[in-house]
Amino acid sequence: MQSPLNPIELLALVYFLLLWSGYAHYAKYRAKTGDLASLSRSLRRHREAWAQRLLDREMRMTDAALLGSQERVVGFFASTTLLLMAGVLTALTSSGKIAEITSHIPFAEPQSGGQIEAKLALVLVILIYAFFKVTWSLRQYGFAAVVMGAAPDSGEEMAADQREEFACNLAKLMDSAGHDNNSGLRAYYFCLAVVCWMSGTIPFLLATTLTVWVLYMREFRSATVKSIQRSYVAPRQQ
C-alpha cells in the first residue's frame, strides 16, 4: 500500500521522531547524572528533602494537600487528553474539508485528504501516548499518597538507615510520577508541531526545532530552574 506522504514528508517525519526521542533521552540523562542544571534533578532534591522532613512532622495535612494538588493537576491533563482525542477523531472524518481550508493559508503547500488523514493520525497516536503517560503518573501519585499515609509517626523509633531508605523510596516514587507527567506534557508540545505540518513541511520542521529549543531553555536554562536550585535547604541530619 502506497504511503499518502511523499518522500520529503517522510524524511521530515523521521527528523521529528529523532529529535523528540533524542531530546527525551538527553533530558533523562541530565536529570540523573552530572552537576549541570536540570529542572527534574533540582525537583528531585526537593522531593528528597520533603520526604525526610515529613517524618519529623506530627501533623501532615499540608503534605497530603500538596500531594493531592499534584494529582488534581495531572488528572486535569488526563481528562483534557480524552477530549482532544475525540476532537481529532471527529476531524478525521472531515479531512477533505481541512485540506481545502489549508489550501487558502498563504504559502501553504497543497495537500490531499490522505495527507491530512495521515498527519491527524499522527496527532492521535501522540495523544494516546500522552494519555498513557499522564494516567500512569496519576496512579503513581496515588501510590505515593498510600506510602505517605503509612509513614511512621514522628514519635516512633527509627534507625537512621530506615529513615533514609523510606525518604529515598518515597522521593523516587514521586520523582517517577513527575518524569511521566513531564513526558506527557512534552508530547503536547510536539503535538503542536505536528499541527503546523498541516500548512506544509517547512513550517513543520521549523516548529519541531523551535519546540526542542523552547523545552531546552525551560528545563535547563530558565530562571525557574535557578530559583529552584537556590531555594534548596538540606534537611538536618538525625
C-alpha cell at 146: 498510600
pLDDT at 145 over 60: yes
Number of helical H runs and strand E runs in the chain? 8, 0
Q: What is the mean pLDDT of residues 129-136?
A: 96
Q: What local confidence, expressed as pLDDT, does residue 2 receive? A: 55
Write the pLDDT tens digit of every residue in 50-83. 999 998 888 889 899 999 999 999 999 999 999 9
Angle value at C-alpha 82, between 65 and 20, nearest 5 degrees: 90
The length of the chain in residues reads 238
In a domain, 49, yes or no: yes
| Mean confidence (pLDDT) of the chain | 89
Q: What local confidence, expressed as pLDDT, does residue 113 receive? A: 77
Write the pLDDT tens digit of every residue in 178-234. 999 999 999 999 999 999 888 889 999 999 999 999 999 999 999 999 999 999 988
In a domain, 111, yes or no: yes
Question: Which range (55-59, 109-113, 163-167) has the least confidence?
Answer: 109-113
Domain that holds residue 70: 7-230
Q: What local confidence, expressed as pLDDT, does residue 92 receive? A: 86
C-alpha cell at 19: 529529535
Question: Which range (137-146, 154-163, 168-177) has the least confidence?
Answer: 154-163
pLDDT at 128 over 90: yes
In whole angstroms, give the CA distance from residue 44 to residue 113. Answer: 46
In a domain, 237, yes or no: no
Q: How far is CA 171 from CA 26, 45, 51, 143, in A?
A: 22, 9, 6, 12
pTM across the whole model: 0.90
Give the best-scoring range by mean pLDDT among 47-56, 91-100, 113-122, 208-217: 208-217
Q: What local confidence, expressed as pLDDT, does residue 58 receive? A: 84
Provide the domain count of the chain.
1
In a domain, 1, yes or no: no
In a domain, 2, yes or no: no
Question: What is the pLDDT confidence band of residue 107, given thresholds at 50, 70 and 90?
Answer: low
